[in-house]
Amino acid sequence: MKVADIRPDALMEGQQAAMQRDIAMLQARRAEFVETPCPACGDDAGAPLYEKYGMTHRRCAACATQYVSPRPSPAVLRDFYRGSENYAYFARHIFPASAEQRRERLFRPRAAMVADLARASGMDRPALVEVGAGYGLFCEEVRATGVFGRIVGVEPTPDLAGICRDKGIEVIESAVEEIDAVEPFDILAAFEVIEHLFDPAAFLTACRQLVRPGGRILLTCPNIQGFDTILLGSASSAVDHEHLNYFNPDSMALLLRRAGFEDIEVTTPGRLDVDLVRRALAEGTVAPAQLGPFLAHLLDRNDAGTDTLLQDFLRRARLSSNLQAVARLPA
């Protein structure tokens, strides 16, 4: 899989312009930003690391989570996601151009993975809820596996909730924190949600209310201690104006443990690190000297076999920049 498959190059320029207006919208409300402790461990000794897009990034001295503080308040974030030009641009241009690639390369493998998780856990016709269902591609692919007895998407954005309903997906049109009592689910999945949130611990507390005792939660987010994120640092595309929380495998496990989950398994199944770093080299975002002679040589070879070995190593050593956590709510 290549980055261009899911982020078409020709459309990235328009998205850049929309993104700049989004950043300006956030910065205009800087007076409402709130200082926060580390979102994983609660320690408040996070030394400033760098500024990007007007956001101050810190690194927790205790658990090495990178986080934005001060950060936009919940009220600012609500207005931001309602008014985001970047999201509107994505909906109008990028999503239609890349939906089938995204379905095939991102959502179908994820659906296969939750189906495997359900089987491995001995679940019979389990109920699954996806928090942040978006365009419903994951729910559709989960439905196609035939493994699940019930599939529900939680989606607070009215347009997206409507798209999911049109696909015949059952939708709870609400923020997860505001859901009233529901029949609990066997598996809860939230892909690339937790890095955006003001308070990840509060989010997990809300998620717990949706999961039955012994049920599973599955999260994905960037890994700030990955190949792409370490080598590129602030130049990594994972570091943007929307992401407020940058966990690593150990701090994600810590966060889940503090939220009351057990049997926590954190992996880094990412497939794009090598491609992302090579693109950054080609675009001059990073200089070969910054990689050191060995990695510069390795990437300069541009050999598919070597790339596959390297990406496989990164995945197995939990050094890919994409993180996945599976955990169980105690029975």
Q: By the criterion CB under 5 A, which residues form the site for Zn ion?
A: 38, 40-41, 43, 60, 62-63, 65
CB-wise, 37 or 74, nearer to Zn ion?
37
Shortest CA distance to 328 belongs to which of 228, 196, 215? 215
CB-wise, 43 or 100, nearer to Zn ion?
43
Tokens of 12: 């990235």
Q: How far is the CB of 64 from Zn ion (least distance, A)?
A: 7
CB-wise, 23 or 40, nearer to Zn ion?
40
Q: How far, in Å, CA of 236 to CA of 50, rounded?
A: 13
CB-wise, 65 or 229, nearer to Zn ion?
65
Q: How far, in Å, CA of 38 to CA of 57, rounded?
A: 11
Q: How far apart are the first and last CA of the chain?
A: 38
Q: How far is the CB of 37 from Zn ion (least distance, A)?
A: 8
Q: How far is the CB of 230 from Zn ion (least distance, A)?
A: 18
Tokens of 24: 């300006």
Q: Identify the residue whose tokens are 């609400």.
A: 174
Q: How far is the CB of 59 from Zn ion (least distance, A)?
A: 9
CB-wise, 62 or 113, nearer to Zn ion?
62
CB-wise, 43 or 170, nearer to Zn ion?
43
- Dihedral angle computed from the Cα positions of residues 288, 290, 293 and 298, in that order, rounded to the nearest 10 degrees: -60
Q: How far is the CB of 234 from Zn ion (least distance, A)?
A: 19
Q: How far, in Å, CA of 199 to CA of 40, rounded?
A: 10
Q: How far is the CB of 253 from Zn ion (least distance, A)?
A: 12
CB-wise, 38 or 210, nearer to Zn ion?
38
Q: How far is the CB of 223 from Zn ion (least distance, A)?
A: 15
Angle between helices 304-316 and 273-283 (to 10 degrees): 120
Shortest CA distance to 66 belongs to which of 48, 79, 54? 48
CB 299 within 8 A of CB 228: no
Shortest CA distance to 260 belongs to which of 196, 205, 203? 205
Q: How far is the CB of 200 from Zn ion (least distance, A)?
A: 11
The phi, psi pair for 135, rounded to 5°, reads -85, 0
CB-wise, 5 or 250, nearer to Zn ion?
250
CA distances from 223 to 65, 160, 245, 251 (A): 9, 27, 10, 10
